Amino acid sequence: MTEGRKSRSTEAFFGRRRGKTIRPQQAQALADGLARYRLDLDRAAPTDIRMLFAAEVADVRLEIGFGGGEHLRHEAAGHPGTGFIGVEPFVNSMAKMMASLADAPLDNLCVYDNDATQLLDWLPDASLSGIDLLYPDPWPKKKHWKRRFVSPVNLDRFARVLKAGGTFRFASDIDTYVNWTLLHCAAHGDFAWEAAQADDWRKAYPGWPGTRYESKALREERAPAYLTFRRT
């Protein structure tokens, strides 16, 4: 992949990289945290990615766009025998996450602060037990639909890195993006939707801690959907 293509890919899936100027204390936490938790994609990925973690883990999950980190921290703290990789390109969100980890470190966590497609292309085949894409930017205007992360090429990436039986979980409060994801996964062929009845996608995932995006959706009376697809 050329450098130009990498740049366009990065611009396609997320917007701005920075918000308000972060405070010096946050900046220090960000620098210290990335030095400890950030994956170096300039190095070849290990054949067994469980070796990426300071803790001994049995399997590895990925969360793309973890935002404030509420769900990722909750999952990593509650499942110490599982390794978690979190991707978040927005600097302010990553700074918030690193500040929280300074107070409560997690040895079963790694992060990446750039385009998730770069990480997906770096990972070995069949190396993940699950991928979470929770409340991603819906890019609601039709002219921006190409910027949605769920796409045939990214589902190809998911299918390559997921183990057989692994899960892809997608949550959103935007009906059009929920329908978009259902249609794309059905058309792809490597993903089977697990819902048998409506309550299967209306109920949050087991142990779900909630996120600030979900809280906003509920305040604005938008009903979230929680989809689970299994890698066939």
Residues 124/47, Cβ–Cβ less than 8 Å:
yes
Active site residues: 137
- Among residues 215, 220, 192, 195, the alpha carbon closest in space to that of 205 is found at 195
Neighbours of 119 (CB within 10 A): 21
- CA distances in angstroms from 171 to 9, 22, 27, 39, 134, listed in the order given: 22, 29, 30, 26, 5
Cα–Cα dist 45/49, whole Å: 7
Provide the residue count of the chain. Answer: 232
Q: Helices 175-188 and 152-161 sit at what angle, rounded to 10 degrees?
A: 60
Burial 91-113 (b: 16+ CB within 10 A, else e): bbbbbbbbbbbbeeebebbbbbb
Q: What type of residue sits at position 54?
A: A
Q: Residues 95, 6, 69, CA angle at the centre, nearest 5°?
A: 25
